[in-house]
């Protein structure tokens, strides 16, 4: 588990962040890709959530692309769950 400054964290798309050189995939959500209609909005919303406060990352292994799979919390709230509630999860 790591607690990070918001200055160290950047959204890559709606379900992936970058912390330094590490790509971290949010566990439990698949948002539209950047070339899909809702992709840029999902990324923008993730960026807004990341700026809200202290970030805590709880790792759960790696995916086939060697990204860290993790639960990401901002001020104690699971970011993937917020994005799902707000309708940014892909259907399917």
68 near 3, Cβ under 8 Å?
no
Query: Of residues 18, 47, 67, 81, which has the active-site annotation?
Result: 67
Query: Of residues 33, 47, 56, 81, which has the active-site annotation?
Result: 33
Told to judge if 51 belongs to the known catalytic residues of this protein, a careful annotator would answer no
CA nearest to 2, candidates 73, 79, 82: 73
Told to judge if 67 belongs to the known catalytic residues of this protein, a careful annotator would answer yes
79 near 50, Cβ under 8 Å?
yes
Q: Secondary structure of 30-48 in the HEC alphabet? A: CCCCCCCCCHHHHHHHHHH
Told to judge if 56 belongs to the known catalytic residues of this protein, a careful annotator would answer no
Active site residues: 25, 33, 67
């Amino acid at each position: 588990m790591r607690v990070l400054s918001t200055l160290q964290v950047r959204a890559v798309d709606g379900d992936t962040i970058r912390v330094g050189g590490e790509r971290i995939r949010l566990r439990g959500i698949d948002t539209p890709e950047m070339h899909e209609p809702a992709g840029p909005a999902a990324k923008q919303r993730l960026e807004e959530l990341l700026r809200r406060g202290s970030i805590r990352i709880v790792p759960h292994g790696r995916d086939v692309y060697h990204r860290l799979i993790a639960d990401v919390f901002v001020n104690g709230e699971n970011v993937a769950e917020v994005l799902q509630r707000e309708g940014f999860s892909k259907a399917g």
